Each structure stands twice: as C-alpha cells, then as structure tokens.
Amino acid sequence: MTLRGSFLTATLAVVSLNVPTMWAQGKRAGVNRKIPERPARPDLRAVERIEKMSPDQRRAELAKLPAERRQQMEQRLERISKLTPEQRAALNKRYEQFQHLPPDRQDAVRSEIQRLRNLPEADRKARLAGDEVKKKFSSHEQQLLREASGEPEL
C-alpha cells in the first residue's frame, strides 16, 4: 500500500469514528444552538387568578409588578370584569384554542390580531377576507383571527 493509500485509509477511519457521535448529537458537532426566548406574554389564567383575589391581595400582588406591567394588568382586569358570562366563556375557549397552536403560529396569530385591531372596521374586514390572510393562516387560525378582532361572521 502506498503512502497516499495509507493516509486515505487513516483519514476515513477517523471520520467514520466521528460520524456516529455527530448523528447522536442531532446537529453539527461543536455548534451550540439556543432556542430564542419568547418575551413574556400576559396569561389569561394569571388575570383570572388576580381577579379572584380580595382587593387587598390584588393590590399587594399588583404592587409587585413593574409600573407598565401593572397598568396593563389593571386594564385587562377592568375589561374582563365588564364581560358577560357568555363573552367570558367565548374568551376562555378562544384562549384554549390559541394555547394549542405551536409557538411560531401563536406568534404569527398574535401579530396579526394586533395588526387587525389597529385597522378601521372596513379595512379589517377587507384584510380578513383577503388572499394574504388566507395564504398565511389555516382556516382554524383565520377563525381565531376573526373572533379576536370582533368579526366572527365573515
């Protein structure tokens, strides 16, 4: 065997010993991939938990939050307290359906809901009925978008 053949054989042996290790890792060796952290989102369950507290407990719990977060929570509590039992049940159902979406789809739906809520009613209806929403979102996601933006009967 020539020197070149010996070198080639040795190289193949080293590479073949490392291949199972790379497969076991499920990714390229030596690369640490971190899953990006998602920003904290308001949890409907947290709002419900705070809502069920006595006024003193609620004040103490809200006082622990940063000012901006406390204001958001107070606004949510106020909005939820004004809902009828039927509206509250529909909100809980929508929240449960949303929670079952994969995280990337939750982000997409959440962004679209925010976009829709900032549009005038006519533009919102047109966007929901448009091709872009139909292409980007499944029929189930489209229903969530319609309900969350106040247009359930498109």
Kindly report, residue by residue over 15-54, the tens digit of the pLDDT.
455 444 444 554 454 455 554 454 445 556 677 788 788 8
What pLDDT shows up at residue 7?
Answer: 47
* Model pTM above 0.75: no
Return the DSSP state at 62. H
Query: Please, what is the end-to-end C-alpha distance for the chain in angstroms?
Result: 77
**pLDDT beneath 70: ranges in the chain:** 1-45, 152-154
Nearest to 132 by CA among 116, 150, 148, 151: 116
What pLDDT shows up at residue 109?
Answer: 93
Domains in the chain: boundaries: 39-82, 89-154
Nearest to 47 by CA among 66, 62, 63, 28: 62
What pLDDT shows up at residue 152?
Answer: 64
